[in-house]
């Protein structure tokens, strides 16, 4: 073949043009050939019943992103929806603790919600979908939480259908927040959402001015939320932590996560004896600060007895209405001058902070990824939820091949 300089120039132009087309349109799925025409979605079609449905993948618009799902954790909120549908969403595509790889993106998408560049092949997580509320921004100073916005995995069904992370693909639309987390491994990325809940809770606790490096802190409830709470406290330098739960395996893991002592409430009869157990674990002192991480009204009623006069409390266990709790305002709040804050979900700023928390936790040797005890493929999602409801593990995850 006779190739002169003009031919070479033409070939180079053609190759560059083709590369530009592929980059802007994201025509190929990274490492997996072309994008399929349909996606499989685990739809909750009734109480305790997921069905795998197949839907066409929509065309990606100029402001849209198509993500190939790699994995998604099962949250307590998912379990509530599975059992009782408290939000009235059925039929719904659940899954909000997810992560995956960008396989196609619109030409207007160039960076994530923190200003980091985005491209096909990047690993991402989503946080919230903006509504018409200008106060929900990356740098809001009023600390408005995610309760004022929508979240993928808790959306009413629509003509897109690819609305939750329990799926092959997630279709991310304009107005959504997205973060490039390519520097984190899959297990860490699956844990971002629940960890953000605790980063937010600890930030809320710090507003009381009571939580300090040398504080004695009690954490009640050693499910994933309580265990992550302990890890967040440890990464911030708090060392004197007592874990309270009724499960010895979880209490043992609490010590791996950084608790210095544990109290099994099943070993005590009555709240006064239980409070004495907590006091003994702190060497004869009550806690300076407490985190109540259970969804039990009795747990909330009891927590005040573990806190010293002038101490603080962060209540974060009630993500849904779990019922009323009984307290004595005089003894539990007024005479002890307890400072209480509530915590629910997170802000965008907390979400971004969580990426650094995960890196720090691993750097100091906390076994944060051991929280994921079970992994199921998408087609076994009903089995995954049964395992979760039986509390046979800690964090259950759906992981795609």
Domain(s) labelled CATH 3.90.180.10 in the chain stretch across: 15-183+367-399
**In this structure, is the dihedral angle defined by the CA atoms of residues 284, 287, 293 and 295, taken in order, positive or negative?**
positive
Interval 124-148 mean pLDDT: 66
* pLDDT at residue 163 tops 80: yes
Task: Please give the Cα distance from 297 to 315 (Å, whole number).
Answer: 11
* pLDDT at residue 136 tops 60: no
Confidence class for position 8, pLDDT limits 50, 70, 90: very low
CATH superfamily of 15-183+367-399: Medium-chain alcohol dehydrogenases, catalytic domain (3.90.180.10)
pLDDT digits (tens, 9 = 90+) for 185-195: 999 999 999 99
Q: What is the Rg, in whole angstroms, of the alpha carbon atoms belonging to the chain?
A: 24
Interval 82-107 mean pLDDT: 95
Confidence class for position 138, pLDDT limits 50, 70, 90: low
356 burial (CB, 10 Å; 0-12 / 13-18 / 19+) is exposed
Strands 176-180 and 123-129: antiparallel
The residue with tokens 């409390």 is 313
pLDDT digits (tens, 9 = 90+) for 296-307: 999 999 999 999
Task: Please give the Cα distance from 118 to 73 (Å, whole number).
Answer: 24
Give the per-residue pLDDT at 134: 57
CATH superfamily of 195-342: NAD(P)-binding Rossmann-like Domain (3.40.50.720)
Tokens of 61: 């618009």
Strands (E), 297-352: 307-315, 339-342
* pLDDT at residue 282 tops 70: yes
Give the per-residue pLDDT at 5: 46
Of 141-155, 234-248, 251-265, 344-358, minimum mean pLDDT range:
141-155
Interval 391-395 mean pLDDT: 92
Dihedral of the alpha carbons of 74, 226, 251, 357, in degrees to the nearest 10: 90
Q: Do 41 and 95 contact (CB within 8 A), yes or no?
A: no
Quick one: how many helices (H) and strands (E) in the chain? 10, 18
Tokens of 179: 């973060």
Of 14-18, 45-49, 253-257, minimum mean pLDDT range:
14-18
- The DSSP element (H or E) to which 175 belongs, if any, is none
Task: Please give the Cα distance from 150 to 155 (Å, whole number).
Answer: 7
Domain(s) labelled CATH 3.40.50.720 in the chain stretch across: 195-342
Confidence class for position 389, pLDDT limits 50, 70, 90: very high
* pLDDT at residue 232 tops 50: yes
32 burial (CB, 10 Å; 0-12 / 13-18 / 19+) is exposed
Chain Cα centroid distance, residue 328: 34
Task: Please give the Cα distance from 179 to 351 (Å, whole number).
Answer: 9
């Amino acid at each position: 073949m006779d190739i002169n300089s003009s031919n070479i120039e033409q070939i180079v132009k053609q190759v560059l043009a083709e590369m530009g087309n592929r980059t802007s349109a994201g025509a190929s799925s990274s490492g997996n050939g072309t994008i399929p025409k349909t996606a499989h979605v685990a739809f909750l079609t009734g109480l305790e019943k997921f069905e795998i449905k197949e839907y066409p993948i929509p065309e990606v618009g100029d402001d849209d992103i198509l993500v190939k799902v790699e994995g998604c954790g099962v949250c307590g909120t998912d379990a509530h929806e599975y059992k009782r549908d408290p939000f009235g969403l059925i039929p719904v595509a659940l899954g909000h603790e997810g992560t995956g790889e960008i396989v196609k993106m619109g030409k207007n998408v160039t960076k994530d919600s923190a200003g980091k560049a985005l491209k096909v092949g990047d690993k991402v997580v989503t946080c919230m979908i903006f509504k018409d509320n200008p106060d929900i921004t990356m740098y809001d100073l009023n600390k408005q939480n995610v309760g004022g916005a929508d979240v993928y995995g808790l959306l009413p069904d629509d003509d897109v259908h690819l609305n939750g992370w329990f799926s092959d693909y997630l279709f991310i639309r304009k107005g959504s927040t997205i973060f490039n987390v390519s520097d984190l491994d899959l297990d860490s990325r699956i844990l971002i959402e629940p960890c953000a809940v605790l980063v937010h809770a600890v930030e809320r606790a710090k507003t009381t001015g009571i939580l300090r490096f040398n504080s004695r802190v009690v954490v009640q409830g050693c499910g994933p939320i309580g265990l992550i709470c302990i890890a967040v406290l440890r990464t911030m330098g708090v060392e004197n932590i007592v874990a309270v739960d009724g499960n010895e395996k979880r209490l043992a893991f609490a010590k791996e996560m950084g608790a210095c002592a544990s109290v099994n409430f099943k070993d005590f009869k009555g709240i006064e004896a239980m409070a004495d157990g907590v006091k003994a674990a702190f060497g004869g002192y009550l806690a300076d600060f407490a985190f109540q991480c259970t969804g039990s009204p009795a747990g909330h009623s009891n927590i005040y007895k573990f806190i010293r006069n002038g101490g603080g409390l962060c209540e974060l266990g009630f993500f849904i209405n779990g019922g009323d709790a009984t307290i004595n305002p005089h003894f539990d709040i007024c005479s002890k001058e307890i400072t209480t804050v509530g915590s629910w979900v997170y802000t965008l700023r907390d979400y971004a902070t969580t990426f650094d928390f995960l890196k720090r936790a691993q750097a100091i040797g906390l076994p944060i990824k051991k929280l994921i005890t079970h992994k199921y493929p998408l087609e076994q999602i009903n089995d995954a939820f049964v395992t979760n409801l039986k509390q046979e593990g800690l964090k259950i995850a759906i992981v795609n091949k």
